[in-house]
Amino acid sequence: MQSRYINPYTDFGFKKLFGEEANKDLLVDFLNQLLPDKHQIKELSFQNTEQLHDISVDRKAIFDIHCISKTGERFIVEMQKAKIKFFKDRALFYTTFPIKEQAKKGNWNFKLDQIYYIAILDFFYDEEEEKAKVKREIELKDQDCQVFYDKLQYIFLQMPAFNKEENELETHYDKWLYFLKNLEDFDDIPTILKEPIFEKAFETAEIANFNKKEFDKYEKSRLSYLELVNVVKTGQEEGRERGHKEGLQKGLQKGREEGLQKGREEGLQKGREEGLQKGREEGELNVAKELITQNILTDEQIAQASNIPLEEIQKIRKSLSK
């Protein structure tokens, strides 16, 4: 059954809501829930994000936003719908561009504008203790946890951690997260979101308002998103299950050989590690083969999804075509 509203985690959906000139007011309202008082946005403009031709697929869901605060201060927001593979590396890499682009010719004193990197995640990133927190704010600090540089900040929204229901929403910030988390599942506008800014967001996100070209683009974006999610999830589950079984078998065998207590503990540990590693590798290979046979994504996208080098993906494609 077709949803009434778009999935905001797709590249198309994310750009439709936050990356179009006509919807700047949506973007300003959303960002002002995340930024500090001194950087509440008065005006913003989109800058070109296609400088990186070799990774232009990634740049489709990244916005380089130049802002002026209500007090006249200039700053930059780099905003994206984050991807799971090498997430932290991506975040650090992309902030190098708005930094370098501030360089001026001539006698420049190296003074930089404030930069915020804001990423919306539909997954938990790796640290266990961070899983319970929706909003993560990161700054560059020294060994004494003192802020070394306060003009580069990362804000990550881990959307799976937001679990408030409609009757639990307390702030405008809560309402935005509730909107994004549940948009694709709404049949109608919830009473608590019947405000002009959200009514415009719902109108923008309503699939029935798309023309044929927009609908086709959204469907392609949605299918690519679902394919990546499902294939990666399946590969990880198969790898974990196979690795767990092989790990138990190897661990028990080695444990018997080395002794009842010590042998069992050491053998189980090593066996699990070896089995899990082998299972993960087989799971990633399964992901790659499945994506190649479906012929939806490019080799570069498949390499990102499966965590296998591009050269190996190309070799696998050749072998499957024989």
What pLDDT digit, counting tens, does each position of 151-199 carry? 999 999 999 999 999 999 999 999 999 999 999 999 999 999 999 999 9
Integer Cα distance of 263 and 270 in angstroms: 10
pLDDT reported for residue 61: 60
Contacts of 168 (CB under 8 A, 6+ apart): 174
Whether the Cβ atoms of residue 60 and residue 19 lie closer than 8 Å to each other: no
Q: Greater confidence, 267 or 314?
A: 314
Cβ neighbours of residue 66 closer than 8 Å, sequence gap 6 or more: 44, 45, 46, 47, 74, 76
First to last CA, the chain: 38
Specify which residues 203 forms β-bridges with. none
Question: Tell me: the pLDDT tens digits for 191-210?
Answer: 999 999 999 999 999 999 99
pLDDT, position 271: 65
The structure tokens listed for 46 are 């989109």
Say what the pLDDT of residue 47 is. 82
Q: In what order do the strands lie in the sheet with 74-81?
A: 41-47, 62-69, 74-81, 114-121, 147-158, 135-141
20-24, 87-91, 123-127 — which is least confidently predicted? 123-127
pLDDT for 319: 85
Neighbours of 241 (CB within 10 A): 12
- pLDDT averaged over every residue in the chain: 83
Q: Do 271 and 246 contact (CB within 8 A), yes or no?
A: yes
Q: List pLDDT tens digits, range 119-147.
A: 999 888 766 666 678 999 999 999 999 99
Read off the tokens for 135: 């909003």
> Model-level pTM?
0.70
Given the structure tokens 């719908």, which residue do they identify?
Answer: 81
* Tokens (6 digits) for 1: 């059954």
Q: Which residues contact 259 (CB under 8 A, 6 or more apart)?
A: none
On whether the CB atoms of residues 232 and 247 are closer than 8 A, the answer is no
Contacts of 317 (CB under 8 A, 6+ apart): 292, 299
Residue by residue, what is the 3-state secondary structure of the chain? CCCCECCCCCHHHHHHHHCCHHHHHHHHHHHCCCCCHHHCEEEEEEECCCCCHHHHHHHCCEEEEEEEECCCCEEEEEEEECCCCCHHHHHHHHHHHHHHCCCCCCCCCCCCCEEEEEEEECCCCCCHHHCCCCEEEEEEECCCCCEEEEEEEEEEEEHHHCCCCHHHCCCHHHHHHHHHHHHHHCCCCCHHHCCHHHHHHHHHHEHHHCCHHHHHHHHHHHHHHHHHHHHHHHHHHHHHHHHHHHHHHHHHHHHHHHCCHHHHHHHHHHHHHHHHHHHHHHHHHHHHHHHHHHCCCCHHHHHHHHCCCHHHHHHHHHHHHC
Distance CA 229, CA 252 (A): 34
At 210, give phi and psi (nearest 5°). Answer: -80, 145
Q: Residue 56 above 60 pLDDT?
A: no
